[in-house]
Structure 1
Amino acid sequence: MRNYSIYTLKTKPEFTNLYQYLSGKDYKQLEQQILCHSYHTPICTWNGIVINGLEAYELFRKHSIPFRIKRLHFSSKEDVISWICTDQLKREDLTNTNKKYLIGKKYDAEKILTARQLSSTNKSHISGASIAAKKVSEECNVAMATVHKYSAYSHALDIIDEKVPDLVKRVRSGQLWISQANIIELSGLSKEQLLSLNNYILAEKIEHLSYHDMKRELLWNNYAKPMSEKKSSVPIPSIHNLPQFDPDAEIASLTLTIPSWNSSIERVLKVSDFKIASDTAKNKLKYQLMCLISTTNNILKKLEEI
């Protein structure tokens, strides 16, 4: 096989973190293609580092099957990051979270590249950030303000990823939904708080978490749950320091959460075309709405009984 070999390449977290891994089904299909020698797409590299085809490279190595590489030439790592983001944004299976993340990371890279270019042409007085935002805005078909929001979002995810990678992995894969604003809020929590929250999410098998629920869980962990049996120098709060019982807490939390539900429902009404949506999606939505109506009626009855 001409130009085929079992190359030893490098990977770089800064690049691989931009990649959305295949689903289990798609991964198995890729593996089968490789085993049947029907996968001929070369692995793209830059300076010996894999920048595209990461899973294919891992499978080729796993099964000791020769493969081709395609060496791409870039001037800097920022050029590589921008290229990877653009390439990943073309994927049809891209999650909404990863789309936002990639747009934010592409903007950060383009901002550095633009500033570098302006500096080399003695135009450093011009705002490279606005030029980069406009470029990404046009390429990704989103508003410039949205580009800036996604940049803040990607930064927040990176901060959380340094503390609790498993939490970010589930958010980016679509297994766990946390709003953009709440992700940014969470990035300010300590590693211990995030670990506690992550354990709570896993234990309760939660797929959609509001920030009000998060705050309530963190408060419970800090004050009410028993301390570890291991000896600790941290004093246990006395009974006088425990938060007083608030009979309105749960009702107030629900009251604050409902507007976000209404907003989501209104957004679906505005942007979705129910005529072309699949029957499966419509039936699932119908079932959840009926459950919501039933639960809402039960609460209303409780309120009327008072």
Structure 2
Amino acid sequence: MTAMCHGRVVIVTGAGRGLGRAHALAFAAEGARVVVNDLGVGLDGAGGSGDPAQRVVEEIRAAGGEAVAHGGDIASTEGAASLVTTALETYGRLDTLVNNAGFLRDRMLVNLAEDDWDAVLRVHVKGHFLPLKHAAAHWRAESREGRPVVARVVNTTSGAGLLGSVGQGNYAAAKAGIVGLTLVAAAELGRYGVQVNAIAPAARTRMTEDAFSGLSALPEDVSPLVVWLGSAASTGVTGRVFEAEAGRITVMEGWRPGPTADKGARWTPSEAGAAARGLLAEAEPPGRVYGAVRSGVVRD
């Protein structure tokens, strides 16, 4: 290894299993001291145990690294604040935040309960926002005191948030929200020495093995990009979304103006419709929603 993150202190949320575990181990292998956060919940967010986080800590220590477990709920103000405090009190600094925690409650829209909507939005969107808010407050204070800040945030979105995914309206909405949060945070926090990017990973984990049975890429295939984005070596890269799967890395390009028509005055409904159809004929077709087919959808 190159010790790319030597001396850095890294928080990884949802790090007890899957992608988060792979990220935590990869950062530790590159010399980082890692705060391993995980509630130990099931795929739907039920239950809770500190065992997964502690096992990852023990793996890191057995390999000669430094790590500490954190079992707080990062979608709560208290849990997110204590997460940042754990890094500062244990290691005296914080350099990188990897927001990764999440779970699924998949349903078609007409069957999606309000509780399932709220729970998924809470863990993904609030679970990104609150740790980011508390970490950013620390970095802003450091910057205002004249101390150099070389901070990194890596958020976790999904192809579901970029293209949509049948049966995952709550998850897709949450992951799309994370992209918006990433862009705003990158714009607001750059002045304090903080870079914010997002990844849309594709890997076989507990969350994906049922929904995408043919997916064979490993979580460990995604982590090298996350480590680089979380290191000082990524200087100048912010406000970007990357898709990572196996050996493939793609810079995702989001909404931007396409074909435009300007009448210079108010359209009538018929005129607006005719103009819209003409513009659509010139525009690039949208990407296919995951799980959708031309004649309908794959699952009911």
- TM-score, scaled to structure 1: 0.27
Give TM-score scaled by structure 2 length. 0.27
Q: 1 or 2 for the larger relative contact order (CA 8 Å, sep ≥6)?
A: 2
Higher strand share: 2
